[in-house]
Amino acid sequence: MRRRLLSEIASHPATATELANDLPITRQAVSKHLTCLARAGLLARERTGRDVRYRVTPAPLSDAMSWMAQVGAEWDDRLARLAGAVDSLDDRPDPSASASA
């Protein structure tokens, strides 16, 4: 049912009442599912007057967040390695010579 709700909302943002009218479950049950989906970050709530309309959270946003987390971690590692390589400069003016040895 949640998958069905998601696909309904993906095609057009809707309120719990509108969804209940289209689906074979009560408005109360719809609300419960929507709360769950919103908590999981899959749906966003928009209040217009007395209505709360749900829309699907844009996927690119979460894609962007995971990209930034991954790329950020990669650079943290790289710069730590670079800092280590620079530290050894004093002892070994040409660390590449030992790397290729």
Partner 1 sequence: MTELIERELEVPCQPEHLWRALTDPRWLESWLADAVDLELRPGGDAHFVVDGQTRDGWVEEVRPPVPGDGPGETGCLTFWWQAQDASPSRVCIELIPAEGGTRIRVVEARPLDVLDLVGLPLPGQGHVGQHRFGPALVAG
Binding site for partner 1 (CB under 8 A): 64, 67-68, 71-72, 74-76, 78-79, 81-86, 89, 95-96, 99-100
Give the nearest distance from C-beta 67 to partner 1 in angstroms. 6
Give the nearest distance from C-beta 57 to partner 1 in angstroms. 15
Give the nearest distance from C-beta 74 to partner 1 in angstroms. 8
The rounded distance, in Å, linking the Cα atoms of 55 and 72 is 30
